[in-house]
Structure 1
Amino acid sequence: MSSFSEKFVQIIQEHDLSIFLAFFSIVGAFVAVTKALSFWKLLFDLYLRPGKSLKQFGADTGAWAVITGASDGIGKEFACQLAAAKFNVLLISRTELKLQNLSNDIESKYQVESKTYAMDFAKGDKKDYENLKEIIGKLNVGVLINNVATNHEIPTPFILETDEVINNIVEVNVAGFLRITKIVLPRMISSNRGLIINVGSFSGMVPTPYLSVYSASKAFMSTFSAALGTELNSKGIVVENVNLYFVVSAMSKIRKSSWLVPQPKPCVKSILSKIGVSGGASNVPYSSCVYPSHALANWLITNTFNQSFWVNNGLSINEDIRKRALRKREREAAASKAQ
């Protein structure tokens, strides 16, 4: 028996065991009360606490919102809702036709100005960033939505993933994200106001096997947001890493919404109405999780089982998804040969 164990037994023998039972009861009660208070704070954040007004960042004053990945899904919804709040919008994405159609719709519906810039973030073209720096340098930017991202095509072990996919994720989700932020920041600092929303992911909170590079890129976003948010806190600039679960989108490959998987519109509405409210992500500085079902899931993950449980659970889920995806590819290949 170790010396520690011997000492512990000796203390129990020398004292009334009821003292120790009372101590552990108090500890258990303290933990339970702490969890309960945390849950009530979550409900208060989601349903009662107001977020910062978008007017604080230049809504209806001629200010601009810069949105990356703006042509589809969450990015498109951010563009529309910020235009509805009377921000002019700079739309950045890969497909020129989609951008132009969205720009025309926004100008017609919301009577604001819009500009577009088509670029493929995966290429990391220095000329694209120079052009954007010139465009953005002339704008009064109040909001930046860092939404553009790319993922693994299907869950894949790191050793089997292609170099192209790995490089694309790093280039888009890390390098491109940093470059756009660096370009926009001087415009915000000069006006002593700004809002930077970084569209994050649960996989950045819990390491996700078979999506290792994407998961790491979102963890980077969370860490960077906390560091940058602290740097800019005294300058009137709000930085927020928005922790999202699945949303109906092309990247998630989910087409049908559910209680846990919303359409982009209500998800973005909840984010913009709760700026500065942590919700289910109160354990991570400069992060938020305010769409109700996502916030509850976030709270359960951080307040129930330990991280190892969730990592192993993710492994099982993604192994199953990979098997089904590979079987689908085999069926499609066989059908193509039959034709």
Structure 2
Amino acid sequence: MTWTDAGDMLRRAETPLFWVGAFTVASILLWVLYRLLSGFRVWVLGNGQLISPQLGKWAVVTGATDGIGKSYAEELARRGFAMVLISRSQHKLDDVARSLEDRFGVETKTIAADFGKTNIYPTIEAGLSGLEIGVLVNNVGVSYPYPEYYLRIPDLDNFITNMINVNMTSVCQMTRLVLPRMANRSKGVILNISSASGMYPVPLLTIYSSTKAFVDFFSRGLQEEYRRQGIIIQSVLPFFVATKMTRIRKPTLDKPTPERYVAAELNTVGLQGQTNGYFPHAVMGWVTTKMVPIGLVIFLGARMNRLQRTGYLHRRKLREQKNGTGLKTD
């Protein structure tokens, strides 16, 4: 082949290569534009008017006396829902119910239930009987007292049972009780509060991370089953929020108050089936799932939790020494 022949071949290839390149660039630009417009739709315009008593008079919130659950109860009451509050402590339930009645003038109902047990659902079913439920927030959850290796978790057998009952069984059972009446009316919203820890394995919080991954998969699968019947089932995966459970006292941009988080999250309902609920958290979720290799995410999570474990055990050892008792930290 001569240089002339090679030049002729390149010239003949110029036009096809040009159009391949132009198509590729146009595709990328259209994808970027679509993502920008979608982000603007979700995080700027939102869908805040969807969650209203038109879905049904009552809203049900589990784990309603603290943190994110309490904030959901307050925000839903502010929007005019009559509230069913479910949590373990009747005293705390009464306090929250009185507050909602005084501040928002809504009807309330309380059901005291320990979600660590499995014999509670007939009582809850009776308490929900006859109510037109438009929104269910499956929020109740429990985490580790501190990061720990699986075999070193104190009272491991009961720890496993309690975490599965609270984080997983509650979601399935509460959905079983509420979804049929939503399906009969062809409208309703179920918000299942998972966690960013369910987006990938988190060592030293392994059971918690796994239960929250279950909530995410359960929610997305069920949404596909029932979306044609007008039901919205959303998986909510927050990163850190300043609550008693996370032990974060001072809110920051990436660690919002539960009130700020809930207000942002409710704007995503009907727009995202799986959501981090809050724009800075969505950025963090995109980076950790799309930009960073999963192996590195797991490694960094393990490293952070080992440091937290060491610090916790050191502080506990100092406290017990001060009180005159010993502690083996192995």
Counterpart residue number, 2:301 = 314
Query: 1:160: how far off?
Result: 1.6
Matched residues in 1 for 2:129 and 2:265: separation?
A: 27
Q: Is 1:141–1:188's contact at 8 Å kept on the other side of the alignment?
A: yes
Counterpart residue number, 2:122 = 130
Matched residues in 2 for 1:118 and 1:48: separation?
A: 38
Query: 1:29: how far off?
Result: 6.6
Matched, 1:145 2:129: no
Matched residues in 1 for 2:256 and 2:216: separation?
A: 22
Query: 1:99: how far off?
Result: 0.5
Counterpart residue number, 1:6 = none
Matched residues in 1 for 2:318 and 2:26: separation?
A: 55
Task: Give the AA of the match of 1:228.
Answer: L
Deviations 1:2-29 (A, max 9, x none): xxxxxxxxxxxxx99xx9xx99x96997
Secondary structure at 2:110 match in 1: strand
Structure 1 segment 201-212 matched on structure 2, within 5 A: 201-212=195-206
Matched residues in 1 for 2:298 and 2:244: separation?
A: 25
Q: Is 1:277–1:288's contact at 8 Å kept on the other side of the alignment?
A: no
Query: 1:268: how far off?
Result: 0.4
Matched residues in 2 for 1:322 and 1:29: separation?
A: 48
Counterpart residue number, 2:312 = 325
Counterpart residue number, 2:4 = none
1:215 to 184, 199, 209: 209
Structure 1 segment 25-36 matched on structure 2, within 5 A: 36=32
Q: Is 1:68–1:92's contact at 8 Å kept on the other side of the alignment?
A: yes
Counterpart residue number, 1:283 = none
Counterpart residue number, 2:76 = 82
Matched, 1:228 2:211: no
Which runs of 5 or more residues in structure 2 are unaligned? 1-8, 326-330
Query: 1:302: how far off?
Result: 2.3
Q: Is 1:202–1:243's contact at 8 Å kept on the other side of the alignment?
A: yes
Does the C-alpha gap of structure 1 residues 331 and 46 become closer, same or farther in structure 2, counting only changes over 3 Å? farther
Matched residues in 2 for 1:146 and 1:34: separation?
A: 37
Counterpart residue number, 2:246 = 252
1:51 to 47, 50, 54: 47
1:303 to 273, 277, 290: 290
1:196 to 173, 190, 194: 190
1:40 to 36, 41, 48: 36
Matched, 1:291 2:278: yes
Secondary structure at 1:144 match in 2: strand
Aligned residues: 308
Task: Give the AA of the match of 2:137.
Answer: I
Q: Is 2:51–2:266's contact at 8 Å kept on the other side of the alignment?
A: no
Secondary structure at 2:323 match in 1: helix
Q: Is 2:58–2:83's contact at 8 Å kept on the other side of the alignment?
A: yes
Does the C-alpha gap of structure 1 residues 55 and 291 become closer, same or farther in structure 2, counting only changes over 3 Å? closer
Which runs of 5 or more residues in structure 1 are unaligned? 1-14, 279-285
Matched residues in 1 for 2:296 and 2:33: separation?
A: 24
Matched residues in 1 for 2:145 and 2:93: separation?
A: 24
Matched residues in 2 for 1:37 and 1:206: separation?
A: 28
Counterpart residue number, 1:9 = none
Moved over 4 A (4+): 25-39
Matched residues in 1 for 2:31 and 2:149: separation?
A: 36
Secondary structure at 1:165 match in 2: helix
Q: Is 1:58–1:87's contact at 8 Å kept on the other side of the alignment?
A: no
Task: Give the AA of the match of 2:163.
Answer: I
Counterpart residue number, 2:328 = none
| Percent identical | 31
RMSD between superposed Cα atoms in Å:
2.5
